[in-house]
Chain A
Amino acid sequence: MNLDADVLVIGSGMAGLVAGTVSASAGLKTIVVTRGQGATADSSGALDILGYLPEAGSAVGSPLEGLYAISALHPLHPYSLLGFEAEEGSVNGDRVVEQVRAATEWFLEQMRASSIPYIGTLDELLWPLTMLGTTKPTALLQKTMDPRSLDEESDSTVLFAGVRGFPDFHSSLAAKAFLEARQSEGTGPRRVSNCTIDLVPFGVSHNLSAIEIARHLDRPEGVDALVQQLRSSIEMSGATHVVIPPILGLREPVARKDFLEEQLGATIIELLGFPPSVPGVRLQLALEDILRMSGGTLLRGHEVASARISDGRVLRVTANAPARSIEIEASAFVLTTGKFIGGGISGITDGLHETVFGLPVFDSHRESTEGLRPQRLTDLVSITSSGHRLFGCGVGCDETLRPITSDGDRYASNLFCAGAVMAGHNWPQEKSGLGVALSTGYVAGQAAIGKVRS
């Protein structure tokens, strides 16, 4: 049986779910079709807007400052597209900031009512701690990860608490890395210590995964065990702050943090972790919830395999489930399939390909990548300040977020792009991944509404 909608969003990461929610909130019949989850669910849960300018080694002063710099220096960056003024032929930095601010405030507002309220603004960078004991610049954080009290209170003692049998986090190594970094900066806490606690969701203290511990802490007996275990270590170390891996439950992490702080009299901070990430899943679930609550439909387990295009319009797409196939018709389409993790862009020996519409793939400077092996787009050195060219590659879009052909023409009048599938932002280097996804998803959702109503 076939489906129809006003707006069909292809992909269910940050960009897709935001575009879908914006469209559904406007009362349009919206379907978000998705094959699987992607980089959003795999993320640390931190929402980066901009940490570093493209190809620059030192961090920006604030996301706001960074956005103005990008507007001035990188007109093809997805952020810049949001403020491109066609009459002037230039990027209006104020317009860029206005758009990103609107998206950010909308997101904070949406999350305020969820189980994972976010903190942060465009006006300052946050430097959360990671499970390696290092820090990274970001803009918005789940409230449980707020690191600011560590910097504000210089007379503090920080306790790194690991969980026995949870191999992703080593509390003494993290504590050591943290201490070394703080000493070289001459800032931060007076004392750092570490401990390993026992939490046994299934009666054994080996081969534990973050998700098991998180689910264990969703139950009262799990939290009670955590309180007991931490209490003696806090007493011994005199800790004012306890940093733990991101394990404070899937459902009500803030309530867990508040309860622990009340019981223990110390500030509890979750670290940023690696995939498989509990905060990433929290974010994914919260975004899916807001889509549902806005009246949008999430159609899982369907891969969009082909599209029917006529007279410069996308008419419908074919979506395949494991044993069925359906056609979905819509007035406007938003492509948010992500890059290499989400599967929107695939890289094989004969080059990079956009996987749904076969759109041409460009690099950050809008140069064609046609025929280039992905290896040709990487550096020999794995971590450099300029990043790998490969990660800036994606679909080229005009200022309306419509993808363009290799001749620079619009591919279709009713197709918009958002998120990592777009070219022009080297997200791992810039720390701009979810911020671009949020901002372009927000704007693409509005563009799709405009298209349907016109």
Chain B
Amino acid sequence: MSEEEAYEFVKNTLKQERIVPYTQRELDIIHSVESCVNCGLCINYCPVVRAVGLDRFSGPRSIAVELSRSPPEFWASVDKIYLCTGCGTCREVCPRDVNIPEVVNLVRARLFAVRPDLVPSNLIKTSKIIATHNLAFEPWEDPEEKIDSRDMRLERLGIPFVEDPFVENAEVLFYPGCQAEERAQEVREAGKAVLSYFGVNYTLLREMSCCGLPARLIGDVKTAEHLADILTKKVKAAGVKSIVTTCAGCTSSLSQMSQDRKWGIPVYHMMEYLVEVIGIEKVREAVDIKPESEPSKITVHDPCHLIRHTSRQMEDYARELLTVFPIECVSSGVADSCCGGGGMVGYHSPDVANAVTQENVAGIEQSGAEQLLAPCPLCTAQIENALYRSGSDVDVVDFTVFIAQHLKPKE
């Protein structure tokens, strides 16, 4: 047997043993676990532990030191590993930089590959939807209804309608993400309204496809990679110089993808684009302020995928943008606390996801704010539902929608 044949032979036995070899990238993540000193500081900060306790979710330390070792432990981890919301708080406080959110993804990837019977059935269903439609949600059956829903949202929120631009040789690709494409259409419309207002030469994708983050969080690496391939082709074909998105998850996911697949172009969240590229002074000139009809106090939610998976500077960008409005920005004390909507937890364990959101609800309610702004349609939906259920009258608005609502009419 030649060396190569021997290698192939061993590889095949791995399959029988239900072992999925690590890729180089995954090995770097595994190596980060080696520096764990088992101090448990992460437990003190994990929002899921805070919400449901260590007995229900054994916490980040247990993921690093117990659940990440080898296949048998992977199978045994199934009732814990899917409860991580992937917020990245543990990685951010970790003295040793252990990459626990990515360890969670690689354990889920192995469960999905060889023990799909153990994966929560709602996640399997969702993974099939993603694989079938290249979107995180089942598309609308009736396109007319989708348009009606969009128009209703535009009218209710007072956002101007802008035709979808499909432009050759555009500078910027506007990528709204699945949630804004299929559900929170007002965010997609608001993104177009803002970019058009500032005269940005931008285009949409003729056929929107998912960034792959939901598939990766489920553990469906094959679909995630397939979606990345599709998107890479589309981005290359569009020939754009940058990408702007309104979704926090898409921002971190596309930033990573641009780096891994050498797109060579920057990915911006809309807030970042407004501050860094358009410039705060232009935004100041563009917004129309009617103090009498504005909420007097606003508070902000900072999505995990922006601040902990992209950069904490996004917090400053949100607050800098708000300085152009004559509105008091109050602190809720929980702005950077995970909304519970991450990690696909709500798909199979809504009790856990909603328990996490309760921390946000309590902080927002005691802040005295009349409105909450969140620069992500998923956080917006999660927090809005929780506030509604708790009987709160705090209004929740996506950040891009808020900007679009306040643009001066053009002459």
Contact = CB atoms under 8 A, between A and B. Distances in A.
Contact of A321 (B44, B95, B311): B311
A1 B275 contact: yes
Given A211-B43, A341-B95, A326 B53 contact: no
B276 interface: yes
A208 B52 CA distance: 11
A180 to B, nearest CB: 29
Contacts of A322: 88, 252, 308-311
Contacts of A212: 49-50, 53-54
Contacts of B307: 301
B41 A276 contact: yes
Contacts of B251: 323
Interface in A246-296: 275-278, 281
Contacts of B95: 36-39, 41-42, 338, 341-343
Interface stretch (A61-69, A75-83, A199-207, A356-364): A199-207
Kindly state the interface size class of chain A when it binds its partner.
35 or more
Interface string B259-273: 100000000000000
Given A37-B41, A324-B313, A341-B39, A208 B54 contact: yes
Nearest to B99: A322
A323 B311 contact: yes
Given A322-B252, A323-B252, A202 B313 contact: no
Interface in B39-71: 39-44, 49-50, 52-56, 58-59, 61
A1 B54 contact: no
Contact of B49 (A211, A303, A342): A211
Contact of B40 (A35, A36, A276, A302): A276
B256 interface: yes
B408 interface: no
Contacts of A36: 91-97
Given A301-B308, A322-B252, A343-B96, A42 B49 contact: no
Nearest to A207: B55
B385 to A, nearest CB: 23
Contact of B41 (A201, A275, A300, A324): A275
A56 interface: no
Given A41-B93, A281-B44, A341-B37, A202 B310 contact: no
A215 interface: yes
A376 to B, nearest CB: 20
Contacts of B252: 322-323
B245 interface: no
A209 interface: yes
A372 interface: no
A73 interface: no
B31 interface: no
A301 B49 contact: no
Contacts of A26: none
Interface in A198-257: 201-202, 204, 206-209, 211-212, 215
Contacts of A299: 312-313
Given A204-B53, A301-B308, A278 B44 contact: yes
A301 B311 contact: yes
Interface string B110-133: 000000000000000000000000
A303 B311 CA distance: 11
A161 B309 CA distance: 42
Contacts of A37: 41, 93-95
A206 B55 contact: yes
A323 B255 contact: yes
A300 B255 CA distance: 19
Interface of A: 1, 35-39, 41-42, 201-202, 204, 206-209, 211-212, 215, 275-278, 281, 299-303, 321-324, 326, 338, 341-343
Given A41-B95, A299-B312, 4 more contacts: A37-B41, A211-B43, A301-B311, A321-B312
